[in-house]
Structure 1
Amino acid sequence: MTQNPLMPVSSVNVQPESRSAAATSRFSPVDHMRLFRQYLWLWIVAAVVGVALGVVVSLLCNYFVPRYTSISRLQVTGSLAEVFDAPLDPHEGGQLDALRTFINNMILTLKSPVVLDDTLKRPDVKDTEWFNSFHSAEDAYEDLYERVKAFRPRDSSIIEVKFSTPREKDAAVVLQAINQEFLRGYRRQLGNRDDDLRRMMSTERDRALEEMEAIRKDLTDFSEQNNIAVIRAEGSKEQIHYLTLVQTKAQLEMLLEMTKLNYTEEVRQGNDPQLNERPERAALQDQDPFIAEARVMIKRLKEFKANLIVKGFGPEHRQIKEIDRNILVKQNELNQSRTEMQRMASSIRLSAGQQELEGIYRQLASMGPQMAAADAQLRDLNLKIAEYEQMEERLVATQARHDRAAELLADIRVRSDRPDAVRVSVLQQPTVAELTFPNYPVMISGVALLVLAITVGWVYLTEMLDQRIKTPTDINLVPDATLLGVIPMTTEDPSGPQAVEGVVQEDPSGLMAEAFRQVRTEIMARMDRRGYKTLMLVGAQAGCGTSAMVGNLATSLSLNGQKVLVVDANFRRPSQGQLFNTPTAPGLAEVLEESASLGDAISHVDDAGIDLLPAGGGETTAPEILDGTAFQNLLAKLESDYDVILFDAPPALVASDSKLLCQHLDAVAVVVRAKSEKRGMISRMLRQLEGDRADLLGLILNGVQSSAGGYFRKNYQAFYHYRETGDESLPS
């Protein structure tokens, strides 16, 4: 199934949360495409006016405040690392930072007071119209400082200098003067720097030469007073002698320690009897003649005893006992002799060790003065040698200073003679001044965009602050509101009637009739589902088209086979009788007052196929007549005779009649005139109608123009296309 071309593109069933949030917003949402289409001619006019205004402003600026600019470029080369090498490439290694710093310093120098003051003192600058337009040199200086611009283009070694002035022929003259004074000052600065370095290095070279002569004289005098060769030889010899004494002392100290250990060991052995009985010492003692004779005697006695025992002498024999006594005596004598010999040997060894220690101590004591004398002699010789060597080192260092100063003097001389020592040169002479302000394309486009932006801003601000209901989308901003349908302006259907009254009857196949059928279908779907028969159509204020809406809906319902009654309940401004060309009295008022019968009051409209009960009465009829038993009885009678009863009620915010009717009728639909009622007013009206018996079905948006929403025109075109061709597809 294809989409109905008369239904709005935007959904009318909006979630309560989003609708509530939209209602609390201070600004109305904006449909950008709708605004673009609606105000397309305004955008075009604003752009044309902006272009024209931009041309006028540009011409005025060109006449009153023109600005002519001359441009010059200065080339900056790399520094000289070595005087005989080519300049360093400023774009290699770490030279870029150094180059950037140098260029920044040159820019500051170019705009320094010295350069600008010298520029203003030049005769060619004083002859310019620009200079003569100032009352004083101070004013000219301030203007010159503001107008001259110098900067370094990105990733380049160029200084671009610009000067702007209202006089075309003066820009290049002043800029040329600035360049010349800057380069003259820069070269003068380089010359002064080289002169200062040359004087400093010459002074350093002469001072070093004088110091060298003084050091050489000191060396000569020292050599005459002290034979340095002999001193060095004696020093070597004395060094060897001193080292020999140190070695001898060390050996004596080692010998002393060993002797102490031997002496201590000898004392310990002399006090230990077991050590004296060792075999090696006993063997030495046996070599003594007395001990040897005693041992021989003891051996013979033992042999004689053995022979006697062999012969049969027992142990108790007198001779055996005599021999044993003799052996014992001889053994005691032998032991005493050995003990005495050991004591005497130990005493001799201790005495020898003590004498050896005393001798070592004497030798060590005698070496102290010898070493002190040798050390003093060696120290004195070393001091003289060190003094001489220090003078030689001073001479070498001073010679290096002299040579370095002479080398730097030569480098300064060569560097000064090199053309590339001047790192700044003119790459491009000042150009012929060109008009830079006003820039016609920029000025015209800028003013045009500004005018267009102001226009767009004004339109958007007006739209956002506009609280009127213009399109179905605006219904979403009204809390608890439901859109029942949209009735376009009659101008949207060029082939149909130009008056909305009776349009369904006059052109039942037209666009307007189709729109009323859509509204009829939506309303009846809600009423039939709930069993409603009575419906009141009411607007917020007069002029919203409620009466025409009632008549057309009644006709559409009649064409749909419904038995319809239209009741004009607007006693102050009744209109249904005039619309359908029927008597205006008697009517509802006379029926309720029982001054006329219902049959006499109801008129049948043959063309529309409906019945009409006019208001009757007059402006003095009280609204309370609608709130009585007579009205309720009348409703019961009418509901039994008709399928649908439509009430044309006065505006809800103007009269209280609508509020009274809501207490007895089944349903109510609110008619809203597009671009007339504000959202707040409709919201207030809906709140007033709440809580009564009548069920609020929704809102009918009346008098919508396709220009108010771009999608409506396409929908209307789709309707015409379908009516003429029967093709349900939308036209391209």
Structure 2
Amino acid sequence: MQTNAQPVGPRPGPAPPPRPAGAGAGPATIDPLKLLRQYAVWLVVAAVVGAGLGVGAHFALLKIYPLYRAEIAFEMFSPINDPAENISTVEGNAEEIDRFIGGQLFILESEDLWLDAVRNDNALRTQTKWIRRFTSPQTGQIDENEVVRELADVVSAYPVRESNVVILQATTTDGEDAAIIATAIRNAYIRSNEEAKSQNMQDVLSALSGQLRAVQEERRLAQERMEQLLTENQITSLDERIAVFSADLTALLPGLVEINQSVEVARDTLRSYEEQLASPGGATYPESVRADVRQHPTMLRYESLIADLEADLLAKRARLGDANMQTRATRHQLDAVREAAAAAEERLLEEIFVRQIEEKRSELRSLEAAQIEAQAAAEEARRNIADTKRIQEEYRQLDEDATRLAEQELSLQSEIEKQRAIINRRASSRVRELYSAEVPDRPIFPRIEFIAPAGVILVLVLTAGLIVLRELLEKRVRTPQDVALIPRTRVLGVVPDADEDPSKPTSAERAVADAPAGVLAESVRQIRTLVLKRFAQRGHKALLVVGGMPGSGATTTVANLASSLANADLRVLVIDGNFRRPKCHAVFGVAEGPGLGEALAGAVALTDAAQPTEDPNVHVVTAGAPGTRVFERLATPAMSRLLDEARARYDLVLIDSPPAIVAGDAMALANRCDAAVLVVRAFSETRGLVARVRDQLDESRAEFLGVVVNAVRSAAGGYFRRNFRTAHEYQNGLASELRTARAERLGAGATDD
């Protein structure tokens, strides 16, 4: 059998430097729709249980602790401002009414009012079952303080939104008690309101009288101050004084503006000079300074000397050449003179520029002194004008105040008379009762329309919390999304569980060969496409397939990937590098030896160890006889030489290795292969394990292509089953054509062999 083949690509370059190990698995994320599909039965059962608990709780609470509520409504009005007004037609300020309602709510919920109700309402003390809890059996005395503390949980008041209505309510376990308690609080409130109204009216009159006296005193003081200003300041001459001071200020302002501008220009120029002098890259000099330096006698002498030396140098070059000693001496002299001229120029630039800065500073000081003098004169004129205007304004304000106070005095006298008239009216109350307390005919608690849904919601929330907690604590790889959570880790492919494939292959290892139109075979084809694309880009030929844990499916992946590559007319060599539990000989139906063990020991050549399979494009190097499987030889130069020969003879080399978690053989092989793929089994390996193996492979010579998630079941993601079924139905029509084409290709290969 002919096994030689020309290489199809260059050998990869030297191994890349080790990469730093990345972080482990990232935090889990939760897909709500996925959880809803996965735990739908749990949630339905939780809803049914919650509804049952809610109904049971309703009837239990109705028997043990029912609550009844009695209500009384009060309407609040604005205060009467005119004795002729009717309280029901008064339109008051909304803010004032809100404040009044807030005060009445405080009164209705005050302990003083409740204590008054307990002491003075006979029905409350004798006709309620509720009061018996606070009555001494021996003396018949009521513990009033304890009653008041309990009323804090029984009585409440609140305003009705968008209205002037306040609701007083009492809530107890007995309907009649609730009505009696609400009525007792109402009676105490009405008494308190009447007493407060009378006291408030007297307080209003006292306050108004005090205000009247204060206004009269303030008016007297204003008139005395006006007379004092007229006497001390000669009020009739103030206008003339203001005109004189204004004329002085007008004459000073143009000169002050001119000086201010000159100061700003001088400051800007000085600041620019100083910045140029202190520049981090060296002083930068104005062109005017450079022009002065160029005309300095010293620079003119240097310029003449440089011109003479340049002429002498040109003459000697023409006569003696550049290499002549005299020419070089003249050139060195010219360079020295130029350096001296540059140094002299820099010194003169600094001297002249510093002198200009000092002159500018002196000029600025003179201008600032003149500016201060002019500003002082202008400020004096403004101060004189302001003082005169202040006196004028004070007199005018006093005159206005006196007039205003006289008007206030008249207004207060009128208001006092009006309030006296209002006090004499009985209809001045600002509170009216809309309806009284009635014995409630049904409890407010429990209500089945609330308790039953509350039970459903409570149980659903608890169940959802347990589900979320379970998902957060789950560290296993179940779906490709779990692999995507691991930093710097890509999903190379997803292979469904063989039981999920509608084509029902006879064995997972033979899925591509036996059911080429199946979903499992299509998944392998997608992995094959990605591998070939990467191999073509990098010139790779040797691929290591590593399982995370025993049973991950690395051998299954190797077998199916080999068949898929062979179907693409590529010559593939499968090497069983799993010396601990080799399976490739059983999967491909070949002899156990000679194999890799014998080849590494030098007993056989690769051409003798490579056994043909039923597919002419696939050859297998088994692990070899048990006695030849020396683990250490996988990390020797012999293994490297064998792989080099395999790369030269085959289009692609697939190496099956033991699981990374149980042996270090995979890392030894990874340092001799071009690329590596990690195979993990759904619901078997954890994200932490995948991250560790990924880091180890990252530090090896092989390029890490990604992770193949094997044996994914539809229950893991909710939508995989539908995807599997759709793929199978789409491809099922082509199944017979694919099987026929494969049979023809295999038949042609057999003939060639």
User: Would you say same fold, with TM above 0.5?
Assistant: yes
1:547-558 superposed matches below 5 A: 547-558=555-566
- Letter aligned with residue 108 of structure 1: F
Check 1:148–1:661 CA distance in 2 against 1; reply closer, same or farther (3 A cut). same
1:190-229 superposed matches below 5 A: none
- Letter aligned with residue 106 of structure 1: Q
Check 1:523–1:192 CA distance in 2 against 1; reply closer, same or farther (3 A cut). closer
Distance in 1 separating the partners of 2:700 and 2:418: 113
Which of these two proteins has the greater Rg computed from alpha carbons? Answer: 1
Q: Which among 146, 151, 155 is matched to residue 153 of structure 2?
A: 146
Unaligned runs of 5+ in 2: 1-19, 136-142, 207-412, 735-753
Distance in 1 separating the partners of 2:647 and 2:196: 113
Check 1:620–1:32 CA distance in 2 against 1; reply closer, same or farther (3 A cut). farther
- Letter aligned with residue 42 of structure 2: L
Question: What is aligned with 2:703?
Answer: 695
Query: Is residue 2:509 matched to residue 1:501?
Result: yes
Question: What is aligned with 2:567?
Answer: 559
1:160-175 superposed matches below 5 A: 160-175=167-182
1:363-384 Cα offsets, whole Å, 9 max, x none, are xxxxxxxxxxxxxxxxxxxxxx
How far 1:128 sits from its partner (Å)? 1.7
SS where residue 82 of structure 1 aligns? coil
Query: Is residue 2:573 matched to residue 1:574?
Result: no
Question: What is aligned with 2:144?
Answer: 137
- Letter aligned with residue 479 of structure 2: T
Question: What is aligned with 1:370?
Answer: none
Check 1:510–1:84 CA distance in 2 against 1; reply closer, same or farther (3 A cut). same
Question: What is aligned with 1:642?
Answer: 650
Question: What is aligned with 1:177?
Answer: 184
1:195-594 superposed matches below 5 A: 412-413=423-424, 415-416=425-426, 420-433=427-440, 434-464=442-472, 466-497=474-505, 499-594=507-602
- Letter aligned with residue 156 of structure 2: K
Do the aligned residues in 1 keep the contact of 2:25 with 2:691 (CA within 8 Å)? no
Question: What is aligned with 1:116?
Answer: 114
Do the aligned residues in 1 keep the contact of 2:48 with 2:456 (CA within 8 Å)? yes
How far 1:589 sits from its partner (Å)? 1.6
When the two chains are superposed, the root-mean-square deviation of aligned CA atoms in Å is 3.9
Do the aligned residues in 1 keep the contact of 2:569 with 2:617 (CA within 8 Å)? no
Distance in 2 separating the partners of 1:55 and 1:619: 74
Question: What is aligned with 1:611?
Answer: 619
How far 1:650 sits from its partner (Å)? 0.6
Check 1:508–1:70 CA distance in 2 against 1; reply closer, same or farther (3 A cut). same
Do the aligned residues in 1 keep the contact of 2:511 with 2:560 (CA within 8 Å)? yes
Do the aligned residues in 1 keep the contact of 2:80 with 2:422 (CA within 8 Å)? no
Do the aligned residues in 2 keep the contact of 1:71 with 1:431 (CA within 8 Å)? yes
How far 1:430 sits from its partner (Å)? 1.6
Check 1:435–1:597 CA distance in 2 against 1; reply closer, same or farther (3 A cut). same
Question: What is aligned with 1:44?
Answer: 44
Unaligned runs of 5+ in 1: 1-19, 201-400, 727-732
SS where residue 647 of structure 1 aligns? strand
Query: Is residue 2:724 matched to residue 1:716?
Result: yes
How far 1:546 sits from its partner (Å)? 0.6
Do the aligned residues in 1 keep the contact of 2:502 with 2:519 (CA within 8 Å)? no
Do the aligned residues in 2 keep the contact of 1:572 with 1:618 (CA within 8 Å)? no
1:70-149 superposed matches below 5 A: 70-87=70-87, 89-90=89-90, 92-94=91-93, 96-121=94-119, 122-126=121-125, 127-134=127-134, 136-149=143-156
Do the aligned residues in 2 keep the contact of 1:623 with 1:656 (CA within 8 Å)? no
How far 1:35 sits from its partner (Å)? 3.2
Check 1:24–1:535 CA distance in 2 against 1; reply closer, same or farther (3 A cut). closer
Distance in 2 separating the partners of 1:455 and 1:639: 57
Distance in 2 separating the partners of 1:683 and 1:410: 91
Question: What is aligned with 1:287?
Answer: none
Distance in 2 separating the partners of 1:423 and 1:492: 80
- Letter aligned with residue 148 of structure 2: Y
SS where residue 149 of structure 1 aligns? strand
Query: Is residue 2:179 matched to residue 1:156?
Result: no
1:625-664 superposed matches below 5 A: 625-664=633-672
Distance in 2 separating the partners of 1:498 and 1:596: 35
Distance in 1 separating the partners of 2:715 and 2:149: 59
Of the structure 1 ranges 132-141 and 511-520, higher mean CA displacement relative to structure 2 is found in 132-141
Distance in 2 separating the partners of 1:458 and 1:656: 39
Check 1:113–1:626 CA distance in 2 against 1; reply closer, same or farther (3 A cut). closer
- Letter aligned with residue 681 of structure 1: L
Distance in 2 separating the partners of 1:150 and 1:492: 66
1:326-355 Cα offsets, whole Å, 9 max, x none, are xxxxxxxxxxxxxxxxxxxxxxxxxxxxxx
Distance in 2 separating the partners of 1:644 and 1:113: 92
Distance in 1 separating the partners of 2:701 and 2:416: 116
Distance in 1 separating the partners of 2:156 and 2:456: 30
Distance in 2 separating the partners of 1:78 and 1:405: 19
1:49-79 Cα offsets, whole Å, 9 max, x none, are 4434444444444443332222221233443
How far 1:407 sits from its partner (Å)? 9.7
What number of residue pairs does the alignment pair up?
Answer: 501
Do the aligned residues in 2 keep the contact of 1:80 with 1:88 (CA within 8 Å)? no
- Letter aligned with residue 711 of structure 2: G
State percent identity of aligned pairs.
33
Do the aligned residues in 2 keep the contact of 1:81 with 1:88 (CA within 8 Å)? no
Question: What is aligned with 1:226?
Answer: none
1:613-661 Cα offsets, whole Å, 9 max, x none, are 2213439943112233443443344444433322110112321211221
How far 1:148 sits from its partner (Å)? 0.7
Check 1:117–1:504 CA distance in 2 against 1; reply closer, same or farther (3 A cut). same
Q: Which among 701, 705, 723 is matched to residue 713 of structure 2?
A: 705
Q: Which among 671, 674, 683 is matched to residue 682 of structure 2?
A: 674
Distance in 2 separating the partners of 1:714 and 1:62: 50
Distance in 2 separating the partners of 1:588 and 1:454: 58
Distance in 2 separating the partners of 1:635 and 1:41: 54
Do the aligned residues in 1 keep the contact of 2:558 with 2:656 (CA within 8 Å)? yes
Question: What is aligned with 2:337?
Answer: none
- Letter aligned with residue 124 of structure 1: A
Distance in 2 separating the partners of 1:562 and 1:58: 74
Scaled by the length of structure 1, what TM-score is found? 0.60
Distance in 2 separating the partners of 1:560 and 1:423: 97
Do the aligned residues in 2 keep the contact of 1:674 with 1:701 (CA within 8 Å)? yes
Check 1:677–1:619 CA distance in 2 against 1; reply closer, same or farther (3 A cut). farther
Do the aligned residues in 1 keep the contact of 2:26 with 2:485 (CA within 8 Å)? no
SS where residue 436 of structure 1 aligns? coil
Do the aligned residues in 1 keep the contact of 2:71 with 2:438 (CA within 8 Å)? yes
Distance in 2 separating the partners of 1:483 and 1:89: 79
Of the structure 1 ranges 448-457 and 172-181, higher mean CA displacement relative to structure 2 is found in 448-457
SS where residue 546 of structure 2 aligns? strand
1:530-566 Cα offsets, whole Å, 9 max, x none, are 4433221012222211111111112222233333332
Check 1:586–1:193 CA distance in 2 against 1; reply closer, same or farther (3 A cut). closer
- Letter aligned with residue 180 of structure 1: N
Question: What is aligned with 2:138?
Answer: none
Scaled by the length of structure 2, what TM-score is found? 0.59
